[in-house]
Amino acid sequence: MAAPEPIRLILGDDEFLAERAAAEYVKAVRAAMPEHDPAPAVNRVAGADLTSGALNEITSPTLFGGAVVGIVESGQDVDKDTIAAVLAYAKQPAPDIYLAVCHNGGNKGKALSEGLKKLGLDPVRVSKIKRQPDRVAFVRGELRDAGASPRSASAEIADTIIQAVGSDLRELASACAQLVADTDGKITQESVAQYYSGRAEVSGFTVADATIAGDAAEALGALRWAMQIGVDPVPIADALAMAVRNLSRVAAERGGAAQLAGQLGMAPWQIEKARKQARNWTADALAEAMQVCARLNGEVKGGADDRGWALEHAILQITRLSAAGRTRV
């Protein structure tokens, strides 16, 4: 196997993905080494602690031979003088020495990332995943890599896992590996719900779905359980706002779900789900629900003395709006 490039730029603000990209770089170096060579020595240093001397240390060969991998974490914190030293080294890297530079992609320390790109490096992108379709795609990839059956790596299963676990990529990756191991790769929505019993409300989607459906009793029950186990009100309010926003976007569009998916930034099955929910809503009711969510956003982020009460009040208002829509259908 051909050795990886001697310098790798890992660019983006997701720490978990950056850690994984650095680990994959180390694996690639190991895979390219002769079978009986010792494992590569891995030297890590934080960008704020990197000096010219430290750079020389992490890019120096070991007494026992074999490859060396230096990893600079938080490269945006490297000072100006040391950036010049890193770029000078990158122009003439030493043989059997590999250097990974992780940078969050922001303006701070931009001279380092831009300087490496000007040397011809193609960055490995590790930006935070913000869109739900991209998060679903990430989970599906994790399931496939862990050995899940094709049916168990569906978008519906992925969404169920996200609802149960939340949006943190590290926790999602761990959950996927654990579920595949414990189910022999045959995962169902029921097995996810059973495995994470008591955690499904953590992301707020259960509360939001019941609220949109006009089921006040179920929504309030799910909310009170979530609050009891220590769930912060902010992600619950965010999930509720997202559900109302999705209804509003889908209700105003015509065309097939597959056609609208790219336009709306939603998966086709999410569009179909929102369309079914939107049948019980009028345009006026949706507009009012969006105002309720906007007010709730400020209340749960510090504007209310009792954030739990603010959530309950908003849920009751939105479920009444849904019920009013059903009476008109």
Residues 97-132: tens digit of each pLDDT: 999 999 999 999 999 999 999 999 999 999 999 888
Q: What phi-psi label fits residue 3: left (phi over 0), alpha (psi between -120 and 50 degrees) or beta?
A: beta
Residue 310 pLDDT > 70: yes
**DSSP class of 48:** G
Q: Tens of pLDDT along 269-282?
A: 777 777 788 887 88
- Percentage of residues in the chain having pLDDT higher than 90: 49
Q: Write down the residue that tokens 């050795």 correspond to.
A: 3
pLDDT at 159: 87
Angle among Cα 98, 22, 74 to the nearest 5 degrees reads 95
Question: In terms of pLDDT, which residue wins out, 260 or 235?
Answer: 235
Long-range contacts of 49-53 (CB under 8 A, 24+ apart): 50/78, 50/79, 50/82, 50/86, 51/82, 52/81, 52/82, 52/85
Residue 266 pLDDT > 60: yes
pLDDT at 158: 92
Please report which confidence band the pLDDT of residue 260 belongs to, taking 50, 70 and 90 as the band edges: low
Q: In what order do the strands lie in the sheet with 124-125?
A: 41-46, 68-73, 97-103, 7-11, 124-125
Please report which confidence band the pLDDT of residue 265 belongs to, taking 50, 70 and 90 as the band edges: low
Q: Which residues contact 300 (CB under 8 A, 6 or more apart)?
A: 233, 234, 236, 237, 307, 310, 311
Long-range contacts of 84-87 (CB under 8 A, 24+ apart): 85/52, 85/55, 86/50, 86/55, 86/112, 86/115, 86/116, 87/112, 87/115, 87/116, 87/119
Q: What is the mean pLDDT of the chain?
A: 86
Question: In terms of pLDDT, which residue wins out, 87 or 181?
Answer: 87
Residue 235 pLDDT > 90: no
Q: Tens of pLDDT along 31-49?
A: 998 888 888 899 999 999 9
Do the Cβ atoms of 68 and 59 come closer than 8 Å?
yes
pLDDT at 289: 93
Token pair, residue 268, equals: 């086709």
DSSP string, 239-303: HHHHHHHHHHHHHT--S-HHHHHHHHT--HHHHHHHHHHHTT--HHHHHHHHHHHHHHHHIIIII
Do the Cβ atoms of 281 and 296 come closer than 8 Å?
no
Phi, psi (rounded to 5 degrees) for 169: -65, -35
pLDDT at 213: 87
Q: Tens of pLDDT along 185-223?
A: 899 888 887 777 655 444 577 888 889 888 888 888 888
The SS3 of residue 218 is helix
pLDDT at 5: 94
Residue 146 pLDDT > 50: yes
In Å, how far from its chain's centre is CA 80? 32
Residue 151 pLDDT > 70: yes
Mean pLDDT, range 3-17, rounded to an integer: 93
- Percentage of residues in the chain having pLDDT higher than 70: 89
In Å, how far from its chain's centre is CA 164? 14
Give the least confident one: 115-124, 252-261, 303-312. 252-261
Taking the complete model, does pTM exceed 0.85, yes or no? no
